[in-house]
Amino acid sequence: MRTLRAVILLLITASLVYLLDNPIGGLPAIGKLLDPVNGCWANAEPVDANFTINLQLKGLRRPVTVWFDDRMVAHVLATENY
């Protein structure tokens, strides 16, 4: 009985690995997206990252301020040019 249970769990594991590693229909391979080294988590910024920088861009006539809140949502503050 223990051998049968081990074989069933091995088959379930192998099936999940296969399904997550290969595209299904028009869907991409989900396993590659969830990979912590090369997937979507590889683009995460460190919590203590410093994004303070001053840029001089041609075409800007007035100062523009961009700041990020605690959820890394960008807020742009600019004056209108009349």
Spatial contact of 75 and 66, defined as CB atoms under 8 Å apart? yes
Residue 37 is predicted with a pLDDT of 80
- Which amino acid appears at position 49 of this protein? A
Q: Does the pTM of the predicted model rise above 0.85?
A: no
| Sites in the chain below the pLDDT cut of 50 | none
Residue 11 is predicted with a pLDDT of 97
| Token duo for residue 46 | 């460190």
Distance CA 44, CA 58 (A): 30
Q: What is the DSSP string of 21-81?
A: HS-BTTB--HHHHS-TTTSGGGGPPPTT---------TT--S-EEEEE-TT--EEEEE---
